[in-house]
Amino acid sequence: MTTDGNSFSREATLRICGSLEIERSLWDCFMYVRDYIPADIMLIDVYDTETGIGETIAKADLNGGKLTSVKATAPADTKQLIEEMRKNPQTMTSVSVADRIGDHPIMGPMSEIIGDPDAAFMGFVSNPEWDFMAGIFLGNNRGKKYSAKHVRLFTLLNKPFTIALSNYLRYREVLRLKEILADDNRYLQQELRQQTGEEIIGAHFGLKQVMEMVGQVAPLASPVLLLGETGSGKEVIATAIHNLSLRRNGPFIKVNCGAIPESLMDSELFGHEKGAFTSAFFQKRGRFERAQGGTIFLDEIGELTQGAQIKLLRVIQEKEIERVGGTETIKVDIRVIAATHRNLEAMMAEGKFREDLYFRLRVFPIVIPPLRDRRADIPALVQYFMMKKAREMGFVEIPTLAPGALEKLMHYNWPGNVRELQNAIERALILSREQPLVFNDLVDIVPNTAAMIPVTDGAKTLSLEQMTSQTIANALKMTGGRVGGEKGAAKLLKINPSTLRTKMRKLGIPFGRKETEG
């Protein structure tokens, strides 16, 4: 078949640059070229000049095009010839022809990859200015020699292949970075679950009803409104909802609405286009876009501006946003969890919070009780924070509580809730110098023990035996059920293992074979 150079170049270029998938482009080009040039195989090779390793990254034949990764180290004499070629740009851009590839000083090592040293081949180097060398090779196993006309047509493929290969290598790097980001996201999500804990402390006591509600709503896409005092653990509950949902592998974006300046609220939440305002030098994705496919947690929702409230209502109802300064509507697939310690109904009455937004958010409200109303959780929380903070501060041994310290913690009113308890334990660890913790700075003592009863349905005052049983059970859980030894519960609780076993028998807590069988 005959063709002029312009027509051949145009048609080949359309096929070479028709896809970012280099194996598809290579095959499309191969099937076109073989009508004008004898061809049974077409290859793309890259050569690392530092390591001397050549790699065939793609090939096309009558069976189709595919990505490959066949590597071979060039012999010393071949490396030297390539270095001499690099010093002479003219030889780098010309087509090399071999009537028998096995005899060619540079293409010869490729015969092992092809499996036919008698094949006729020709090839050229694409863009010698790169940090590596890339070669395009065309061969036929019938041993038909390539004429000057064949070489002329093949030379016309140099520029389009340079463009296609450059685009593909950038595309491959983007895919690599995307996979790294996806892997990082999976790792961070796993770390987040480990830090917040798969099982929430208090889930079987003071937070039992809360966790039952979490279990009901987590698998759904409905908005959730978390209500509770500052420091009561709203973020922990929001994280639990995300981790138990079908979106657990997606992003979990946390936003403290009270920490964002009013002038930046829209930009932070919804993003902005380049030039939208004076300092908008680049396009920026907002928090809602970053939460795509996952969950966004809007803490302190009562601090949202009126403008942001309107846009949030649109997100919930229409599942779409617009960046600041933009005209394009962006569809979002996210789940909204909001939280506040403020009285939103009072804010509605004052005109500070939109009524329609309130009822859209309040589809499934969850009230998180303050710590003073779930004092049964305090022993387990104390033990957890003691171990956590001791590890962070590099303590050799887990600290203990001084006599009467737990009772003091149980009677304190905890206006700052769980966050205040955590801070109190950290402060006590700093002051203790590895001595038993005393908490002498806690002065707000509840005058009567009746206040120790949590205001939850079915709540009751824990007896000393119940508290002891719970503390031992938590210690066993932390030590994997081990009683004695350096990593056992007895060591953690600072008592003799035999004493601990005696208490466990008295309290009916299984250990040893009984525990294993259970």
pLDDT given at position 93 = 59
What integer is the mean pLDDT of 162-181? 84
234-243, 276-285, 363-372, 447-456 — which is least confidently predicted? 447-456
pLDDT given at position 192 = 57
What integer is the mean pLDDT of 271-295? 85
Q: Which amino acid would we find at residue 460?
A: K
CATH number of 372-517: 1.10.8.60
Q: What angle do CA 365, 269, 280 make, to 5 degrees?
A: 175
Query: Which of 12-21, 142-151, 348-357 is most confident?
Result: 348-357
What integer is the mean pLDDT of 323-349? 92
| Residue length of the chain | 518
Greater confidence (516 vs 275) lies with 275
Helix residue ranges, H only, 1-75: 5-16, 22-33
> Which CA distances in Å does 305 have to 102, 297, 309, 310?
74, 17, 6, 9
φ/ψ (deg, to 5) at 316: -70, -40
Greater confidence (378 vs 77) lies with 378
Choose among 292, 216, 197: nearest CA to 252: 292
Q: Report how far residue 397's alpha carbon sits from residue 394's, in angstroms, rounded to the nearest whole number.
A: 9
What integer is the mean pLDDT of 19-35? 92
The answer to whether residue 105 scores a pLDDT higher than 90 is no
* Cα 444 from chain centre: 43
The answer to whether residue 379 scores a pLDDT higher than 60 is yes
- Side-chain-facing half-sphere of 421: CA atoms under 13 Å: 31
pLDDT tens, position by position, 497-513: 888 888 888 787 877 64
Q: Report how far residue 414's alpha carbon sits from residue 377's, in angstroms, rounded to the nearest whole number.
A: 13
Where does the pLDDT of residue 191 fall: very low under 50, low under 70, confident under 90, or very high at 90 and above? low
The overall longest dimension of the chain from CA atoms, in Å, is 104
pLDDT given at position 320 = 92
pLDDT given at position 509 = 83
pLDDT given at position 247 = 92
Q: Report percent pLDDT > 90 for the chain.
A: 39
Where does the pLDDT of residue 516 fall: very low under 50, low under 70, confident under 90, or very high at 90 and above? very low
Mean pLDDT of the chain: 83
Q: Report how far residue 428's alpha carbon sits from residue 435's, in angstroms, rounded to the nearest whole number.
A: 10
Give yes or no for a contact between 231 and 417, defined as CB atoms under 8 angstroms apart.
yes
Give yes or no for a contact between 95 and 77, defined as CB atoms under 8 angstroms apart.
no
Task: Give CATH 1.10.8.60 domain extents, the chain.
Answer: 372-517
State the DSSP H helix or E strand holding residue 423, giving kind and residue range, or none if neither.
Answer: helix 417-432
Give yes or no for a contact between 307 and 339, defined as CB atoms under 8 angstroms apart.
no
pLDDT given at position 70 = 83
Helix residue ranges, H only, 147-197: 148-155, 158-196
- CA Rg value for the chain: 35
- What pTM was computed for the model? 0.56
Fold of 197-368: Rossmann fold (3.40.50)
Q: Report how far residue 229's alpha carbon sits from residue 418's, in angstroms, rounded to the nearest whole number.
A: 10
Task: Give CATH 3.30.450.40 domain extents, the chain.
Answer: 5-171
Where does the pLDDT of residue 92 fall: very low under 50, low under 70, confident under 90, or very high at 90 and above? low
The helix/strand/coil state of 297 is: strand
Choose among 368, 333, 343, 261: nearest CA to 304: 261
Task: Give CATH 3.40.50.300 domain extents, the chain.
Answer: 197-368
Choose among 268, 248, 250, 245: nearest CA to 258: 268
pLDDT given at position 393 = 87
pLDDT tens, position by position, 414-429: 999 999 999 999 999 9
Is it true that domain 5-171 has CATH number 3.30.450.40? yes
pLDDT tens, position by position, 305-327: 898 999 999 999 999 998 888 88
Neighbour tally for 437: CB within 10 Å = 21
> Which CA distances in Å does 469 have to 6, 263, 480?
88, 53, 16
DSSP letters spanning 353-370: S-HHHHHHHTTSEEEPPP
Query: Which of 181-185, 186-190, 456-460, 489-493 is most confident?
Result: 489-493
Indicate the burial class of 182 (C-beta count within 10 angstroms; 0-12, 13-18, 19 or more): exposed
Q: Report how far residue 478's alpha carbon sits from residue 488's, in angstroms, rounded to the nearest whole number.
A: 9
What integer is the mean pLDDT of 350-378? 93
